Homo-oligomer: A and B are copies of this chain.
Amino acid sequence: MIGKHIEALLMENQENFLIPADNVATVLYNHPLEHALLVLSKVGYAKIPVLDSEDHLVGLISLANIIDKMMGLTGFDIGILEGLTVADVMEVNVPSITYKEELEDMLHLLVNNSFLPVVDEEKVFHGIVTRKEILKSVNHLVHELEKRYEMTPKEKPIKEKLIS
Residues of A within 8 A of B (CB): 1-8, 10-12, 14, 34, 37-38, 40-42, 44, 46-47, 62-64, 67-68, 70-71, 75-78, 104, 107-108, 110-112, 114, 131-132, 134-136, 138-139, 141-143, 145-155, 157, 159-160, 162-163
Contacts and interface: CB of A to CB of B under 8 A. Distances in A.
Nearest to A132: B111
- Mostly, the A contact residues are helix
24 contacts: A1-B143, A3-B147, A3-B151, A5-B146, A5-B157, A6-B141, A6-B145, A7-B142, A11-B162, A14-B163, A37-B67, A38-B71, A42-B68, A46-B47, A46-B64, A75-B78, A107-B135, A107-B139, A107-B142, A147-B154, A148-B155, A149-B151, A149-B153, A150-B154
Which 9 residue pairs of A and B lie closest in terms of their CB atoms, listed nearest first? A3-B146, A46-B46, A41-B67, A63-B63, A150-B152, A149-B151, A8-B160, A11-B163, A131-B131
Given A67-B37, A152-B152, A157-B148, A163 B3 contact: no
